[in-house]
Amino acid sequence: MPYPKVNLLGKRFGHLKVVEFMERNAHCNSIWACVCDCGELTTAYYQHLVQGDKKSCGKCGIIKRGVKKGTKRKA
């Protein structure tokens, strides 16, 4: 399995920490295994990590999102 030119092991992107190189897909995009701060394991493409498009697993982001400041909650 050919490894990518850029090694992301141990680097952090938002709430994600890269733990393993998984593979390259058919389009030669590298896929990395990451652990979120909430403990969830997820995968991400190299481009999405370095461009800031993927910063968490997505599950914990839903929980952390709240109501915008200055707006009222619906009862």
Read off the pLDDT of residues 2-55 as tens digits, 9 standing for 90 and up.
555 788 899 999 899 999 998 887 777 889 999 998 889 999 999 999 998 888
**What are the extents of the domains in the chain?**
12-58
Q: Which two tokens stand for residue 69?
A: 């400041």
Q: Which two tokens stand for residue 32?
A: 């990395």
The confidence band for 70, taking pLDDT boundaries of 50, 70 and 90, is low
Other Cβ atoms less than 10 A from the Cβ of 49: the count is: 21
Strand partners, 32: 21, 44
> Reading across the β-sheet that carries 12-13, which strands appear in turn?
12-13, 16-24, 30-36, 41-45
Note the pLDDT of residue 58: 82
Whole-angstrom distance, CA of residue 6 vs CA of residue 16: 17
